[in-house]
Every structure is written in structure tokens, then in C-alpha cells.
Amino acid sequence: MSSGCNRQVEHGGGLTAACESFGGEPQEWLDLSTGINPNPVTMPAISNTVWQRLPDTRLVDCARCAAANHYRVTDGVLPLPVAGVQNAIQLLPQITDGPVAVLGPTYDEYRYRFELAGRPVDVIPELSGVKPAHRVVVVVNPNNPDGRTHAPEILLRLAGELASRDGTLVVDEAFADMRPELSLAGYAGRQPGLVVLRSFGKFFGLAGLRLGFVMADGPTLDKLDRLQGPWAVSGPALEVARVLLNQADIVRSVSRQIIGRRQALETVLEQAGLSVLGGADLFLLVDDARAKAIHELLCKQHILTRIFQNRPNWIRFGLCADRESDQRLGHALAQID
């Protein structure tokens, strides 16, 4: 059983703190600490009325329909927009009951938020660790930070088992945009006890927009909607989602660009003699006994990566935006002793 719910969770993206410790201005740094597309898409034009008015039902429904089409939801239960997946995570303790199992190591906000709500949490290394007492199971698929994946049929079977005891399976698909074969989004509305979370900003490089979608059965989405309150997602965010999710050519272009950027990162890390343990399309995880030293060496050259206190051999690299950034990273890594 894990403990320490009063300890804040560490995240990537701590560029301000890095500048304070190692100097430089934020624009001088190469920030590889997050799993976000480093090449944001061009923002669509947004009319003044969208900026001026509170988001109305039509705007919300148009974004939900676009998300249903993009995420291949076919059961008629439209995805619910939320102010980022993080917001949905913070609401999960209020719509579930009982002991929790989190498949880890993974995004630690799940453990933290359930423990903060007074719920017992077990961080389990394998799905075989799920016990009959567990009423909630959390699986990040693909996983952050090691990229581990689980076949849909295995997760659907687990969802059915949990539903039989009024439990809930939460599947976080924040990094599944380029792995549609893994997604359970199309099952969420008709499989009781299944909640699927999708991030919008990571794939499109618009994390600052703070937008995500939740897929589940109607009653579950209604509970979440009531909890998050009116106008939880801004009108401009909904309009951006409506436009981008309806443009398949933009989605294909972004996918191709991400594939190229990941391949370039793999090459840089391989040339530096680093062993890639795993990863997803937007980041790679290296297993190396020198992880902390590598992180600090890169920080001195104003390149920010992500290390993990509970896994001292792990260091995660986000994608570089272009060839110039690839070369900068490669040059810095060449100085590793």
C-alpha cells in the first residue's frame, strides 16, 4: 500500500525552476521534459463571438460530435469535454468508490488524487495484481513513462469483471492518438464501468489550451458534467477542437511529422550509446545508471529532460522540434563521460 498523500507530484515542464537553478531565459532552453508535440498546429481562426460569449450548448455539442467522430465513438454517447485530462483525474474519486489499484509505475497523479480523497491505493506492477477487493483499476495505455501497452480484449475483460462488482476501469489514452488499434473509446458508452480519457493538447501541440475528453456511459458522464460545473471548457478551446478534429488531412500531417521526429530522436540517442527502454510516440525512456548525471549535464547546457526519484536509472526525452534541436541534443550528449 502506498502512502504519503501530502507529497506533491513531480511533473515535467519545470522550465522556470530549471532557469533558476542553471540560469538562462526560458526561450534559450530546449525543453524535452514533456510528452507534447513540439510543433504545434496552426490555430484556426476564431470569430469574435466565440471570444465574447460564454460557450453555449451548440458549441459544446459540435465539439462533442467532432470528438466522437475522431475517437471512433459509435454508440451515441458523445465524449464529454473537460479542462484537460488532469481535471478529470481530480474528479474521479467523486464518481467511484472503494479501494484502488493503479498499474505502475505511471503518471503519479492517479495515486496522489485518490489518496488525497482518503482512498486506499495499491500500485501494482502487473494486471495480475488486481484483487477482488479493488473497486477501481487505473491503466495508462500506452503507459507513461515506459510505453507499455495492453491489448483491448484484455482490458475489456477486466472492465467486465469490475462491472460485475460495481467497479470501474479507468483507461488513460493520453498517448494513444497514433495507436487507434489500442483504443477502447468505441466501447466506453456501452461497457458499464469503463471510463476512457483522451488528451487533445499533446497530439496537436496545444497543451496550453487545457482540453481533454472523457468517454463513458451516459450516467457517468452526467455525474462528471455536474461536478465540473457550467462553462468548464472555454469557447475558444471547444471551437479549436471542432475545427481540428474534423480535418483528417491535418491529423494525418501531424502524425507523419511526429513519426519523423521520433525517428530522429531514436537516432540521436542511439548515436550517444544510450539504451532506450521504451516510450510512446511523443517521448522515449532511457535506462542508464548515469541518468541523474546526464540530466544535470544537459541542464548545464540548457536542455531539460525528465528524471524520476523512484526510478534513479530512468531519464525521459521528449521530441525535438527540428534538425537543429536534434544536433544540439546530440552535441550535448557527446560530452557524456
Q: What is the DSSP string of 278-317?
A: EEETTEEEEE-TTHHHHHHHHHHTTEE-EEETTEEEEEEE
- pLDDT, tens digit (0-9, with 9 covering 90-100), for 34-44: 999 999 999 99
Predicted pLDDT at 106: 97
Q: Are residues 172 and 210 in the same domain?
A: yes
Q: For residue 216, is it within any domain?
A: yes
Q: For residue 6, is it within any domain?
A: no
Task: Quote the CA–CA distance of 155 and 187 in Å, as a whole number.
Answer: 11
Q: For residue 5, is it within any domain?
A: no
The range of the structural domain enclosing residue 283 comes to: 15-40+250-333
263 strand-pairing partners: none
Number of domains in the chain: 2
Q: Are residues 260 and 199 in the same domain?
A: no
Q: How far is CA 253 from CA 178, 192, 207, 257, in A?
A: 12, 35, 18, 6
Q: Which CATH number goes with the domain that contains 224?
A: 3.40.640.10
Burial of residue 79 (number of CB atoms within 10 Å: 0-12, 13-18, 19+): buried
Q: Are residues 160 and 233 in the same domain?
A: yes
User: Model's pTM, two decimal places?
Assistant: 0.94
Predicted pLDDT at 12: 67
Q: Are residues 185 and 305 in the same domain?
A: no
Q: For residue 10, is it within any domain?
A: no
Q: Are residues 287 and 312 in the same domain?
A: yes
Predicted pLDDT at 76: 81
Per-residue pLDDT tens digits of the chain, which is 337 residues long: 444 444 466 676 689 999 999 999 999 999 999 999 999 999 999 999 999 999 999 999 999 999 999 999 987 889 999 999 999 999 999 999 999 999 999 999 999 999 999 999 999 999 999 999 999 999 999 999 999 999 999 999 999 999 999 999 999 999 999 999 999 999 999 999 999 999 999 999 999 999 999 999 999 999 999 999 999 999 999 999 999 999 999 999 999 999 999 999 999 999 999 999 999 999 999 999 999 999 999 999 999 999 998 899 999 999 999 999 999 999 999 999 7
Residue ending a domain, among 247, 281, 305, is 247
Q: For residue 25, is it within any domain?
A: yes
Q: Are residues 213 and 117 in the same domain?
A: yes
Predicted pLDDT at 5: 45
Q: Are strands 283-287 and 100-103 parallel, antiparallel or unpaired?
A: unpaired
Q: Are residues 143 and 227 in the same domain?
A: yes
Task: Quote the CA–CA distance of 158 and 32 in Å, as a whole number.
Answer: 35
Q: Are residues 317 and 183 in the same domain?
A: no
Q: For residue 185, is it within any domain?
A: yes
Measured over the CA atoms of residue 296, residue 14, residue 321 and residue 178, the dihedral's sign is positive
Q: For residue 4, is it within any domain?
A: no
Residue ending a domain, among 195, 224, 247, is 247
Q: Are residues 70 and 176 in the same domain?
A: yes
Q: For residue 8, is it within any domain?
A: no
Q: Are residues 130 and 52 in the same domain?
A: yes
Residue ending a domain, among 195, 230, 247, is 247
Q: Are residues 222 and 311 in the same domain?
A: no
Q: Are residues 198 and 318 in the same domain?
A: no
